[in-house]
Every structure is written in C-alpha cells, then in structure tokens.
C-alpha cells in the first residue's frame, strides 16, 4: 500500500468513497444528510483540491486501486479576549473502501497524517464525528483520539 497526497487524476475515485461516507451519514442521520450524491457534492472535491489550505490524501493498493482517503484542513483561529490562538490540522473527511476495512488502511492513513502534522509543526490533529457512527468512534479511539468537547441536542 502507498499513502500519498492526491493528484487530480485520483479525484473521481475519491468521490466513489465520498459517496460511501455520505451513505453512512444518510442512514445514521436522515433528518440532516441529503440522500444521493449530487453534482455539487462531487464538484466540491475539486474546490477542496485547489484550496491551498486543504490537502487530499489517498491510500492506494495493488493495481492502483483506491483503498481510502482523507481531507485535511490547516486551521488557524486567531486569538480573542477569551482564548489563545488555536492552530491545528483538521481531518474533515475520512473513509476506507468498504471492501478494504479492518485491514489497517485507516490506521496507516492516520500515521501518514500524524507525520505530516508533526512536519508542519502542529501540536494537535482534530476531527469531529457523528455520535451514531460507533464504528468510526471505535476506530478513532483505537488510533489514539480522545474526546475533548461535545455537541449536545434535545430532540423535540
Ligand atoms: C472508520 C473506518 C475509517 C476505519 O477504517 P479501517 O481501515 O477499517 O480501520 P483499521 O483496519 O485501520 O482499524 C484499526 C483499529 O480500529 C478499530 N476499528 C476499526 N473499525 C472498527 C469498527 N467498525 N468497530 C470497532 N472497532 C473498529 C479496531 O481496533 C481496529 O483494529 P483491529 O482490526 O486490529 O481490531 C472505516 O470503517 C470507514 O471508512 N467507515 C465508513 C466511513 C466513516 O464512517 N468515516 C468516518 C466519518 S467521520
């Protein structure tokens, strides 16, 4: 397996996996996520790819198949009267192909991201996830993430 930053030619395959993540979200939270995978969602990846503050990472297997991907975002929030400047690398999107799960692909992607974050001088990687997604939670905890903040709701 090779993990590297994406090239433009990888993006249509990345969208195949983004469709899988969207399906997970639609099934878990249909009141929030729109079903299907619209042209706008597909094209949004090309805007991410062009944005100097964001990076797309891919995990490639034999015969150049796409096994997984991540979207990374360089975040720097300025200081304000309450908090210090906050600078971290955010994982905005993350998915391993459903045919390649539980084989260590996700773990290897996180290792690549962690090395990149260290090289860039970050002291933290951050992400947010939906509470229904127990598999993702177990994965993120297994690779070393801990919860430091919560979103709460009361359904009426
Ligand atoms: C979550 C996800 C990225 C994990 O990727 P993966 O390549 O299967 O994970 P790995 O094989 O590297 O797993 C490493 C460890 O994480 C834990 N883990 C991973 N998936 C898990 C699951 N579904 N349930 C429980 N533990 C899990 C295990 O401890 C695993 O080690 P083990 O297989 O030796 O027991 C993958 O299931 C996925 O893409 N899910 C759908 C999309 C998604 O939910 N993305 C996150 C959106 S926020």
Domain coordinates in residue numbering, the chain: 2-142
With vertex at residue 139, the alpha carbon angle to CA 137 and CA 145, rounded to the nearest 5 degrees, is: 75
Percent of the chain with pLDDT over 90: 100
Burial 123-154 (b: 16+ CB within 10 A, else e): eebbbeeeeebeebeebbeeeebeeeeeeeee
What pTM did the predictor assign?
A: 0.97
Atom number, ligand 1, closest to the C-alpha of residue 103: 11
Mean pLDDT over 140-146 rounds to 98
* Residue 136 CA, ligand 1 centroid: distance in Å: 6
Express each pLDDT in 13-60 by its tens digit. 999 999 999 999 999 999 999 999 999 999 999 999 999 999 999 999
Ligand 1 residue neighbourhood (C-beta within 6 Å): 21, 24, 94-96, 101-107, 129, 133, 135-136, 138-139, 142
Structure confidence at residue 64 (pLDDT): 93
Contact 89, 113 (CB under 8 A): yes
Q: Which residue minimizes the CA distance to atom 44 of ligand 1? A: 136
* Residue 103 CA, ligand 1 centroid: distance in Å: 9
Topology given in CATH for the domain delimited by 2-142? Aminopeptidase (3.40.630)
* Residue 49 CA, ligand 1 centroid: distance in Å: 25
Place of tokens 């249509």: 12
What is the band of 136 on the pLDDT scale with cuts at 50, 70, 90? very high
* Residue 44 CA, ligand 1 centroid: distance in Å: 25
The tokens describing 68, both together, are 């997984």
Place of tokens 């995990």: 59
Q: What ranges make up the beta strands (E) of the chain? A: 2-5, 54-60, 66-77, 86-96, 125-127
- Which SS3 state, helix, strand or coil, does residue 66 take? strand
* Residue 97 CA, ligand 1 centroid: distance in Å: 11
Structure confidence at residue 89 (pLDDT): 98
| Strand 66-77 to 2-5 pairing | unpaired
Mean pLDDT of the chain: 98
Atom number, ligand 1, closest to the C-alpha of residue 140: 16
Structure confidence at residue 119 (pLDDT): 98
Mean pLDDT over 106-116 rounds to 98
What is the band of 76 on the pLDDT scale with cuts at 50, 70, 90? very high
């Amino acid at each position: 397996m090779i993990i590297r930053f994406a090239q433009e030619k990888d993006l249509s395959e990345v969208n195949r996996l983004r469709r899988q993540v969207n399906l997970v979200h639609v099934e878990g939270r249909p009141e929030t996520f729109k079903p299907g995978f619209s042209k706008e969602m597909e094209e949004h990846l090309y805007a991410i790819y062009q944005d100097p503050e964001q990076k797309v990472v891919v995990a490639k297997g034999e015969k150049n198949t796409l096994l997984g991907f991540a979207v990374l975002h360089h975040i720097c929030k300025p200081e304000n009267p309450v908090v210090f400047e906050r600078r971290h690398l955010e994982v905005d999107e993350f998915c391993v192909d459903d045919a390649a799960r539980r084989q260590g692909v996700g773990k290897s992607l996180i290792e690549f991201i962690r090395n990149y974050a260290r090289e860039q001088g970050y002291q933290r990687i951050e992400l947010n996830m939906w509470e229904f997604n127990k598999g993702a939670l177990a994965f993120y905890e297994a690779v070393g993430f801990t919860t430091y903040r919560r979103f709460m709701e009361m359904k009426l």
